[in-house]
Amino acid sequence: MRNQYIGYYNWTPEEFMNLWNEAIFVFDTNTLLNIYRYKENTCNAFLNTLELVQDNAWIPDHVAAEFHKNRRGCIYGQEKAYDGIVETLKGSVATLEEKIKKIGNHKLLNTADIKDQFQKVIDEISHKVLETKQDHPNYKENDSVLDRITKIFDNRVGSPMEMKTLEVIYKEGEGRYERKVPPGYGDKKKNLNKYGDLVIWKALMGKAEKEKRPIVFITSDDKEDWWQIEQGKRIGPRPELIQEFYRQTKQLYYQYNPAPFIDYAAKHFEQDVADEAVLTEIRAVRDEQSKKGVKLVKLAKRFQFASPVEVDPWQGSLLHSSALIPSISAQRHLRNEHMASLSELESELRFLNEKIHAMDSVPDEGWSPEIDDHYDTWQQDREAVIYKVSRLKYLLGEDFDEEDYVMGLE
């Protein structure tokens, strides 16, 4: 009975030991991309751990393709953070100035002195941020992370699936997602790459079946379609995943988030590769990235209409605007305006994505300062448009997934 319901049984330390001795270690896209987001010490610790399992490491073609497609955007996101912080600091000065202007003359407060002192502090912090920016790794000229990842997975990448194979997986995915069969149904509402997790899952089972070896999958995904969650806590892989894997391949399957993987690897290989600070940062980056798609929508919810005349698609929610505009026809007209604006923004995004994705295919040695400037400008423009889309989606009561708009629109 245990083999028939193996996903519901706890594993012994000896079974975990045997698993790690025999397994192929597979990594998902975000686990690899997050390496660019780590501080230097954590970055090296993670890469050192990958090198410990290098002889038994492997990634599906889907993961490799997504990694290369999104690598430059990930690097850019880190680089732009410095300027973003400086702009936010400048904004805080403007906010204070506006507040002081509203206060006007005050009996005791020396508002001019407050403003001057605040400006000095902001200038000092901004200067330090921009100084730090100078020390940021120039991955465009020397990408040591890419070099190490390339070496680790040299001749350890799966072959691309044929289109007819993918079509069969997509068709199967429709039924699986409707029945909430893991994995991947958590991406059901995506417009793009909806079946990416299922493609990876099929690749994992294919690899295990071919090599007759168990799989350890390291994923930064934390959704319920991968994990068994009880009272808000992840307690292990979904039992159904282990069940399906074993039925089809006669091999064992287990999965880890990146931090537990690093921790267990250090113990298994008896290597001091990571301290608690490293593990804490890995957890924080994973949590930050998994919540990123939700943050924009939450931010949009903070904006409300200031008055009935300020019916602006960037200034409120449809719920509040409806209360201000009692006419049904007026509400319908407003919604139509929102839909038209959304259509225009999505057209603009398609144009920007085409430009950015075209540049992503340019080899590093083909880049020039002029290309770099265009790339940065288009990235900034796309981010601004995506933010507006997130707010419009909220106004219209529609789901928003940032990844769909970064990757492209169907």
**Are 264 and 311 members of one domain?**
no
Q: CA-to-CA distance for 61 and 200, rounded, in angstroms?
A: 9
- Tell me, yes or no, whether 96 lies in a domain: no
The tokens of 389 are what? 């889309």
- Tell me, yes or no, whether 254 lies in a domain: yes
Last residue of a domain, one of 250, 281, 312: 281
pLDDT averaged over every residue in the chain: 82
**Are 261 and 323 members of one domain?**
no
- Tell me, yes or no, whether 384 lies in a domain: yes
**Are 165 and 200 members of one domain?**
yes
Which comes out higher in pLDDT, residue 330 or 42? Answer: 42
User: Residue 386 sits in which domain range?
Assistant: 301-407
Over range 314-343, report the average pLDDT.
52
**Are 244 and 309 members of one domain?**
no
- Is the four-CA dihedral 183, 187, 188, 190 of positive or negative sign? negative
Structure confidence at residue 407 as a pLDDT band (50, 70, 90): low
Per DSSP, the three-state class of 197 is helix
Last residue of a domain, one of 227, 250, 281: 281
Kindly tell me if the per-residue pLDDT of 311 is higher than 60: no
In eight-state DSSP terms, residue 156 is -
Lowest mean pLDDT among 137-146, 276-285, 294-303, 353-362: 294-303
**Are 164 and 55 members of one domain?**
yes
**Are 382 and 321 members of one domain?**
yes
Over range 316-326, report the average pLDDT.
36
**Are 170 and 316 members of one domain?**
no
**Are 241 and 390 members of one domain?**
no
- Tell me, yes or no, whether 106 lies in a domain: no
**Are 363 and 393 members of one domain?**
yes
Over range 348-360, report the average pLDDT.
79
Q: Is 250 in contact with 242 (CB distance < 8 Å)?
A: no
pLDDT of residue 139: 87
Structure confidence at residue 334 as a pLDDT band (50, 70, 90): low
Which comes out higher in pLDDT, residue 296 or 39? Answer: 39
Last residue of a domain, one of 219, 250, 281: 281
Residue type, 236: G
202: which residues sit within 8 A by CB, 6+ positions away?
169
Kindly tell me if the per-residue pLDDT of 225 is higher than 60: yes
- Tell me, yes or no, whether 125 lies in a domain: no
Number of domains the chain contains: 2
Cis (ω within 30 of 0) for the bond into 183? Answer: yes
Per-residue CA distances from 315 to 69, 390, 401 (Å): 34, 12, 20
Q: What is the DSSP string of 203-263?
A: HHHHHHHHHT--EEEE----STTTEEEETTEEEEE-HHHHHHHHHHHSS-EEEE-HHHHHH
Structure confidence at residue 362 as a pLDDT band (50, 70, 90): confident
